[in-house]
Structure 1
Amino acid sequence: MLSVFKNNPVLAELDIFVTQPDQQWLLVDSLITYTENILKKQPGYTASAIHRSFDGLRVINYVQWQNQADYDTYINNRDIALATQITGFLAPDSHLYEIFMSEPADSPMQITADEGQLINFGIFKLKDPANQPRFLEFTAEAIQQISGQSGLMTTHFHRSLDGARAINYGLWSSQQEYAKMNANPPMAEPLLQMRSLANNEFQMSLYEVVFTSVLSPAIFP
């Protein structure tokens, strides 16, 4: 079981693939093979989870690393690079992240495949990486306003270490509650400010976890 929470001393690589519905499962299978044969053998690799969107348009690989040095060693080895091994698809948007804020505070998100979990990703691409600190101020306000939202079990906002990205990773109890929130979002005002600083690739579609791999025992707060 992969565990996501703010005080977990790992960094997260997120690889975001854009695909088409008729190619989505082929991409998932390619990522599983890559994980088993290459990724999980790399020093510093801890765990990973592969997500597919229900609309068929994205696959997201969430990978935990012990530290940035191990990630850098992996990412700079072109012989095993994800973009060179997963061919026939658009190259992923890949960055290294840390968790900026969780709601409820210190709540663990325990990820496992085949458990019917409903995941959402809010993907923000900063127009200017220098604005990431200001963006995160509005993010903190938005997260406080969504606190206690019916159906939201736990959410974890990630910021990329290079300042270029910010991604919300949330777990919902049902598609109905998620759709209800989207129809009348409680954080509408700070979200407007966030979108003034970043291009928002927010998708209405939820995701399911289709594969997990964990090398070390899960760490819980």
Structure 2
Amino acid sequence: MTRRTHSHPDLADPRVGAPFFSTWRVGTPLRQQRSVEAVAVAWERRPWPADGLLGYHVYTGHDSSTLLHYAQWTAEPAYEAFARTRRQERADEIDTAVPHIERLGLTRCRRYRSGGPADRAGRTPGCVVVVDVEFDGPDPARQHAWVDAVFEALADDPAPHPGGISAHFHVSTDGTRVLNYAEWDSAQSHLDALAAPGDGIGSATALWERVQTWPGLKSSTVSRYDHALGLLPG
């Protein structure tokens, strides 16, 4: 059985050994909503596909064009078995309901570090911000060192924005990217933080400058999303 939830996922769940992220480009706000519902229908009418899948969540992008998918797998072999036997039937049904979805690729990750209160201090995220950082080649040590530098900059920041709830840093298994899944109390809080003095979220400090000019840093993109659908084993 598959059941729907409105609750945000627990990114720090220790059972999650293989968190996967993917993005679809669907084109318009109407197609975003139709795609979310198509995913819900395709999954809810079928049994939960694998014991190794703890949860599957879909988010609508504030760009009015994209969807973010976040799947919490216990391990990669569980996903591989699903992909071989049960993924395609769901994809075919979704594509029939909403043709011409552009799937932009799957990023296999491991969560490296998280910050913020484990219980969110009773605050419900009003916006999810994903920062996707790409380096110029595979280097797991560099991924970890860069994330550690971010935490140093956060600890040193004289004026952290109060709208940030949590940050969960994931490193891609190919060694080239870091994805920060950050929970904010609202999109406006995140926009206000970007508009504050400094380059990006952080204040104008030497440690934030080190983060932003890290050797080999190729690109950094920021995207805002709303949690639209959560699916769990029932």
7, 27, 40: which one aligns with 2:35 = 27
Structure 1: distance between partners of 2:118 and 2:225: 20
Q: TM-score, normalised by structure 1?
A: 0.78
- 1:157: how far off? 0.6
**Which amino acid counterpart does residue 146 of structure 2 have in structure 1?**
F
- 1:41: how far off? 1.9
Change in CA separation of 1:116 and 1:162 when aligned onto 2, cut-off 3 Å: closer
105, 109, 127: which one aligns with 2:136 = 127
3-state DSSP of counterpart to 1:49? strand
Deviates more, 1:42-51 or 1:72-81: 72-81
Structure 2: distance between partners of 1:165 and 1:81: 30
Q: Note the 1:10-89 alignment, pairs <5 A.
A: 10-22=17-29, 23-37=31-45, 40-77=48-85, 80=88, 86-87=94-95, 88-89=100-101
Whose radius of gyration is greater, 1 or 2? 2
Change in CA separation of 1:180 and 1:211 when aligned onto 2, cut-off 3 Å: same
Structure 2: distance between partners of 1:103 and 1:26: 34
Partner of 1:197: 217
3-state DSSP of counterpart to 2:64? coil
Give a deviation string over 1:141-183, Cα, whole Å, max 9, x none: 1233235542111110111223243211011123332112223
- 1:9: how far off? 4.1
The answer (yes or no) to whether the contact 2:107–2:172 under 8 Å persists in 1 is yes
Q: How many equivalent residue pairs?
A: 207
Structure 2 gaps, min length 5: 1-6, 203-207
- 1:139: how far off? 2.2
Structure 1: distance between partners of 2:61 and 2:32: 9
Structure 2: distance between partners of 1:191 and 1:43: 40
Q: TM-score, normalised by structure 2?
A: 0.74
Change in CA separation of 1:65 and 1:140 when aligned onto 2, cut-off 3 Å: same
**Is structure 2 residue 12 aligned with structure 1 residue 5?**
yes
**Which amino acid counterpart does residue 99 of structure 1 have in structure 2?**
R
Change in CA separation of 1:64 and 1:199 when aligned onto 2, cut-off 3 Å: same
Structure 2: distance between partners of 1:89 and 1:30: 12
Partner of 1:209: 227
Change in CA separation of 1:155 and 1:18 when aligned onto 2, cut-off 3 Å: same
Give a deviation string over 1:8-51, Cα, whole Å, max 9, x none: 44321112112322422222222223332458323411112111
Give a deviation string over 1:158-217, Cα, whole Å, max 9, x none: 1122324321101112333211222333234302327x43432323xx21111112227x
Change in CA separation of 1:32 and 1:188 when aligned onto 2, cut-off 3 Å: farther
Give a deviation string over 1:86-128, Cα, whole Å, max 9, x none: 4321123212222111113x72569xxxx66211011234431
Structure 1: distance between partners of 2:90 and 2:217: 29
Q: CA RMSD in A?
A: 2.9
Structure 2: distance between partners of 1:37 and 1:125: 38
